[in-house]
């Protein structure tokens, strides 16, 4: 992992920190980046202290919500994420529309939206100006493995067709069925591997096992799963909903997320032993969720106060296995 160690949070600006992560070494990115909404809401606003006195929010208490430059962020995401890896980001409007409409070439593709439905409102400072907000947006992207149509499996099929010396229609006609339609279209969007029994028909009819570039079916399967796009149905359920209902809990950080919500997302989009990046770690929820689900994590947190709280919380969790509610972020 080069200069970066697994299962560690770094107190530094994430765009600089991510440059130290080796290319293609991250399986999943889960992050709650600054939305740029609370920064404006808190500026000039007042709060009540525990002793009952009234004071304005400090400059530090609203500057943490400064938006990260989108182009730089997604360029680093595209570099560190493995092929077919996922990006899961929390947001609120208008930042949500900005993120979903951003074009990162053909490498990073927006997949679909979800929402986190909370049990209480989040924007109480603006209650007299707009409806209170009981949900947050979740957006899912993936790194396109075949964005340039040069995957090993596609190349193999191109060379296989050259060996046979026929076009796709002629091959299907000679075999007597159209089971190879997508497999024999290596430049198509619906390209996919065929079942072993179907592949064996090519061996029987065209003697492709005599070709020097021939690969047994097990090798084709290995090529096909080397870069899996993971989607695990939650245990005990028949499907995964796009409305995630998890109770919001009191915490140290202004935009805390429940640990069980992050665990839910991690389980859907990664396997045990995978490495999860959270480049805005807050007070460490993603790290705790990774520890609970047997994943590795890498995190960055620029705010020194939040960073120290996250280290304290994680160290406590490693020793006791218990969470400190006040640090739940």
Farthest CA pair distance, the chain? 86
Confidence of residue 56 (pLDDT cuts 50, 70, 90): very low
Q: What is the pLDDT of residue 178?
A: 84
User: How big is the chain by its Cα radius of gyration, in Å?
Assistant: 24
Q: Taking residues 273-302, what's their average pLDDT?
A: 96
Averaged over 167-173, what is the pLDDT?
Answer: 90
* 93 neighbors 141 (Cβ within 8 angstroms): no
Q: How far apart are CA 106 and CA 126, in angstroms?
A: 38
Beta bridge partners of 136: 116
- The whole-angstrom separation of Cα 67 and Cα 39 is 9
Mean pLDDT of the chain: 85
Dist. CA 41–CA 129, nearest whole Å = 11
- The strand pairing partners of 240, in sequence order, are none
Number of CB atoms found within 10 A of residue 3's CB: 10
Tell me the C-alpha distance between 73 and 15, whole Å.
7
Confidence of residue 46 (pLDDT cuts 50, 70, 90): very low
| Model confidence pLDDT, tens digit, residues 203-215 | 999 999 999 999 9
The DSSP bridge pattern shows strands 46-48 and 54-56 to be: antiparallel
Task: Give, in order, the Cα–Cα distances in Å from 300 to each of 7, 32, 71, 276, 329.
Answer: 11, 12, 18, 12, 14
**What are the residue ranges of helices labelled H in the chain?**
14-17, 38-42, 60-63, 70-80, 95-101, 152-164, 168-175, 196-206, 217-225, 259-269, 285-292, 304-320
Contact of 267 with 292, CB cutoff 8 Å: no
| Of 32 and 104, the one with more pLDDT | 32
91-150 per-position pLDDT tens digit: 999 999 999 999 877 789 999 999 999 887 766 666 778 788 889 999 999 998 665 565
3 vs 130: CA distance, rounded Å:
46
Distance separating alpha carbons of residues 152 and 304, to the nearest angstrom: 45
pLDDT over 70, % of the chain: 81
- pLDDT reading at 217 higher than 80: yes
Looking at residue 120, its pLDDT comes to: 77
Tell whether the model's pLDDT for residue 314 goes beyond 80: yes
pLDDT at 229: 81
pTM of the model: 0.73
With 0-12 / 13-18 / 19 or more C-beta atoms within 10 angstroms meaning exposed / middle / buried, residue 320 is exposed
Q: What are φ and ψ of residue 32, in 5° steps? A: -115, 80
- pLDDT at residue 303 above 60? yes
Residues 6+ apart with CB under 8 A from 189: none
């Amino acid at each position: 992992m080069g200069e970066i160690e697994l299962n560690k949070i770094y107190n530094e600006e994430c765009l600089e920190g991510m440059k130290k992560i080796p290319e293609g070494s991250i399986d999943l990115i889960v992050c709650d980046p600054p939305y740029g909404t609370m920064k404006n809401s808190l500026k000039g606003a007042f709060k009540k202290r525990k002793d009952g006195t009234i004071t304005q929010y400090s400059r530090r208490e609203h500057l943490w919500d400064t938006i990260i430059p989108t182009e730089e962020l997604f360029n680093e995401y595209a570099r560190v994420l493995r092929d077919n890896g996922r990006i899961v980001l929390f947001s609120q409007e208008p930042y949500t529309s900005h993120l979903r409409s951003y074009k990162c070439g053909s490498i990073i593709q927006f997949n679909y939206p979800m929402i986190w439905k909370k049990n209480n409102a989040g924007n109480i400072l603006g209650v007299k100006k707009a409806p209170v907000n009981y949900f947050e947006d979740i957006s899912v992207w993936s790194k396109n493995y075949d964005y340039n149509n040069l995957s090993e499996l596609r190349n193999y099929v191109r060379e296989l067709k050259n060996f046979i010396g026929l076009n796709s229609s002629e091959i299907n006609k000679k075999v007597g069925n159209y089971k190879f339609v997508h497999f024999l279209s290596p430049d198509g969007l619906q390209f996919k591997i065929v079942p072993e029994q179907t592949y064996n028909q090519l061996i029987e009819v065209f003697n492709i096992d005599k070709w020097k570039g021939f690969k047994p079916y097990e090798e084709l399967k290995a090529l096909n799963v080397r870069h899996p796009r993971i989607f695990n149905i939650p245990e005990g359920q028949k499907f995964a909903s796009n409305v995630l209902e998890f109770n919001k809990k009191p915490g140290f950080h202004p935009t805390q997320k429940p640990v069980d919500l992050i665990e839910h997302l991690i389980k859907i989009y990664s396997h045990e032993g995978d490495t999860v990046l959270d480049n805005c770690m807050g007070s460490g929820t993603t790290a705790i969720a990774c520890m609970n689900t047997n994943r590795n994590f890498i995190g960055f947190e620029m705010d020194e106060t939040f960073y120290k709280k996250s280290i304290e919380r994680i160290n406590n969790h490693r020793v006791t296995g218990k969470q400190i509610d006040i640090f739940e972020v």
